[in-house]
Amino acid sequence: MSVAENFRSIRRELGGAIKLVAVTKNHGVETMREAIDAGATDIGENRIQEAAEKFKTLDRAVIRHLIGHLQTNKVKQAVKLFDLIQSVDSEHLAAALDKAAAASGKVQEILIQVNLAREVQKSGVLLEDLDGLIKFVDAAENLRLRGLMMIAPNFAEVEECRPLFRQMRKLFDELKISREGFDYLSMGMTHDYKIAVEEGANVVRVGTAIFGERLY
Ligand X SMILES: *Cc1c(COP(=O)(O)O)cnc(C)c1O
CB of 105 to ligand X, least distance (A): 28
Residue closer to ligand X (CB basis): 23 or 48? 23
Q: Which is nearer to ligand X, 135 or 214 (CB)?
A: 214
- Minimum CB separation of residue 8 from ligand X in Å reads 17
Q: What is the DSSP letter of 75?
A: H
Query: Rounded CA gap, 92 and 186, in Å?
Result: 22
Please work out, in degrees rounded to the nearest 5, the angle formed at the alpha carbon of residue 144 by the alpha carbons of 103 and 94: 60
Closest approach of Cβ 139 to ligand X, in Å? 27
Name the residue nearer to ligand X (CB basis): 146 or 205. 205
CB of 59 to ligand X, least distance (A): 25
Judged by CB, which is closer to ligand X: 49, or 208?
208
Contact at 8 Å (CB) between 188 and 201?
yes
CB of 113 to ligand X, least distance (A): 8
Nearer to ligand X, 10 or 75 (CB): 10
The 3-class SS string of 10-62 reads: HHHHHCCCCEEEEECCCCCHHHHHHHHHCCCCEEEECCHHHHHHHHCCCCCCC
Determine the distance from the C-alpha atom of residue 195 to the mean position of all C-alpha atoms in its chain, rounded to a whole number: 17
The Cα 215–Cα 66 span in angstroms is: 20
| Footprint on this chain of ligand X (rule: CB under 6 A) | 23, 25, 46, 67-68, 151, 189-190, 205-209
Residue nearest to ligand X (CB): 207
Taking every pair of Cα atoms in the chain, the longest distance, rounded to a whole number of angstroms, is 47
